[in-house]
Amino acid sequence: MSTTRTCQVLVVGGGPGGYPAAIRASQLGLDTVIVDKHGLGGACLNRGCIPSKAFIHAASRYEDMVRHAEKDEMGLKVAQPTLDIAGVVSWKDDIVSRLTKGVGQLLQSAKVEVLAGWAVFRNAKTCVVKTEAGETIKITAEHVILATGSREIELPFMPFGGDVIGSTQALGLTELPGKLVVVGGGYIGLELGIALRKMGSDVAVVEATDSILPGYDKELIRPVEMWLRKNKVELNTGCKAKGVIRVDDQTVLEFEDIKGKIHRIESDKVLVAVGRKPVTEGWGLENMGLDMDGPFVKINHQCRTAMRGVYAIGDLTGEPLLAHKAAKQGELVAEIIAGHRRAYNPVSVATVCFTEPELVGVGLTPAEARAKGEAVMTGKFPLAASGRALTMGGGMDGGFVRVTARQSDHVILGIHAVGKHISELSGEFAMALEMGATLEDIAGVIHVHPTLTEGFAESALTALGHPIHISA
């Protein structure tokens, strides 16, 4: 069966950028259709952000139980716990299912027409959708929002399959690997590697650059390195994976160190986590007349492409590949289409790494600010001096909150932190930069006691030279 449909707004991709764009467009009175093939919520909700955080939380709970079984800590003692990883995956899947159904209900409430299928563009404004129900629908739209997202990078010499897995497969494991090698020491590889180490796997990491978590400064990643060493995670930095071979019925990863020497590590599973790339194939990008910026679709400050009436948002448009960036761009584009004067120009987009301990970065590091010619002042508050951090089992992991400000006017240029549960401060950090806050602004706000947010105020006081809860 073939039908034709026209609409004011067509959104391609139901991920964290696409579905907010569709909801906001419909709220503004625009006839809106959204097409999605791989599950509303996109990779973030179905295969990334949410399932990985559920997995990480379960791993941390299990680690805590093991520790209490081994030692009477906090006055708590438990029997030896057992891990059912298939049960963890089932619990994680239940959360994902509940949230994806919620996205569907939100779209329905907003009166957005949802088509489950794959869209292929014939030109910039017309596509053909083959739905899961077997229909073929030709859609012509006044405005198109491309939100196709990204997918895992697969190494050509080490494709996924068998014992070589990506993050999606790692989140669906039904058996705990005794030995795991992670290729890639970025946030995805380390988040999952640390979680599986907490569950009991022996873990080794192979990273091509000279440090784990490229993009974060040395001071910030030091507590993570401390945790990895303490928990006997083998780190091989400055090393390049060469491929997987079988030796005596055992999977073995070969890698080359900086001196050209080849090494081997036995493994039950090899997790390849070397990044993500935009989904640009299979939906007719070549027929749309868009300009490219390397592998990404080129956009301006309003997310407009080179083709009038066609917008692109989220991972399709370049770094940072973050769900919250995509969501904000989606809402913004819907408002632009509706005639509002809007532009995408955030001061900074916060990044969070859910390792052990967690990392948060907003704005410039001290080194980055100096490289831009800024004279800066910094303040660092150790979470070991935070009562709230200590009551939550943190503080003694080397965590801290660090603020970087311009020396001349005390305007905050960057905020970085590492510590248990520190990700929950990312919103306050981002708001401070977006509002152009000064050190005095933050120090002058009464922060609730006892909370981790007090560490932010104390870091500002430290930069100003008169901290209260640490010695100056």
Parse the chain into domains and list their residue ranges. 2-47+90-152+277-337, 164-274, 351-464
Task: Give percent of the chain above pLDDT 70.
Answer: 100
Give me the pLDDT at residue 1, please: 62
Could you read off the pLDDT of 46-88 as tens digits, one per residue? Answer: 999 999 999 999 999 999 999 999 988 888 888 999 999 999 9
- Does position 114 have pLDDT exceeding 70, yes or no? yes
Report how far Cα 241 is from the mean position of its chain's Cα atoms.
24
What does the pLDDT average to over 10-39? Answer: 97
Q: What span, in angstroms and rounded, lies between the C-alpha atoms of 390 and 324?
A: 30
164-274 against 351-464: fold identical: no
Q: What tens digit of pLDDT does each residue of 364-405 get?
A: 999 999 999 999 999 999 999 999 999 999 999 999 999 999
**How many other CB atoms sit within 10 Å of the CB of residue 72?**
10
pLDDT at 321: 96
What local confidence, expressed as pLDDT, does residue 8 receive?
98
Tokens of 313: 């948002």
Q: What is the structure's pLDDT at 14?
A: 97
Tokens encoding 237: 């930095």
What pLDDT band is residue 215 in, cutting at 50, 70 and 90?
confident
Tell me the pLDDT band of 98, cut-offs 50, 70 and 90: very high
Percent of the chain with pLDDT over 90: 95
Alpha-carbon distances, residue 140 vs 9, 104, 144 (angstroms)? 9, 23, 9
Q: Helices then strands (H, E): number in the chain? A: 13, 23
C-alpha atoms less than 13 angstroms from C-alpha of 384 in its C-beta half-sphere: 8
pLDDT at position 119 is 96
Task: Report whether pLDDT(38) > 90.
Answer: no
**Where in the sequence numbering do the catalytic residues fall?**
449
User: Taking the CB of residue 407, how many other CB atoms lie within 10 A of it?
Assistant: 13
Taking 80 as the threshold, does the pLDDT of residue 472 lie above it?
A: no
Out of 3.30.1360.150, 3.40.1160.10, 3.40.190.10, 3.50.50.60, select the CATH number for domain 2-47+90-152+277-337.
Answer: 3.50.50.60
CA angle centred on 106, ends 101 and 108, rounded to 5°:
95
pLDDT of 274 over the 80 cut: yes
State the chain's mean pLDDT as an integer. Answer: 96
Fold of the domain built from segment(s) 164-274? FAD/NAD(P)-binding domain (3.50.50)
- Looking only at the bridges linking them, the beta strands covering 269-272 and 240-247 are unpaired
Given the candidates 3.30.390.30, 3.90.180.10, 3.40.50.720, 3.40.50.300, the CATH classification of the domain at 351-464 is 3.30.390.30
